Amino acid sequence: MGIAEYQAYGYFGLTAFLVFALYSYIYHLYSTDKKDGGHDYENYSNIALNDDISDAPVSPISDDKEK
């Protein structure tokens, strides 16, 4: 089998994988705010809008440590 064939298989396989990943990402984005413990992605817009140093972070680092 020549290098061109490996190339073609590699190309096909990786593209298929990335397309799959992209679609599951879309699913994730739109389903997570309905789940328990999920969150609404649109809230992240506020990271820019409330970006004063004294504003409360949208998802503070300390949240994580408590878990």
Interface residue list for another protein (CB under 8 A) = 3-4, 6-7, 10-11, 14, 18, 22, 24-26, 28-30, 32, 39, 41-49, 51-55, 57-61, 63-64
- Min separation Cβ 7 and another protein, Å: 5
Q: How many whole angstroms separate alpha carbon 14 and alpha carbon 37?
A: 32
- Residue 58, Cβ neighbours under 10 Å: how many? 15
Is the CB of 34 or the CB of 39 nearer to another protein? 39
- Min separation Cβ 38 and another protein, Å: 8
- Min separation Cβ 36 and another protein, Å: 14
Asked whether 46 and 56 are in contact (CB, 8 A), the reply is no
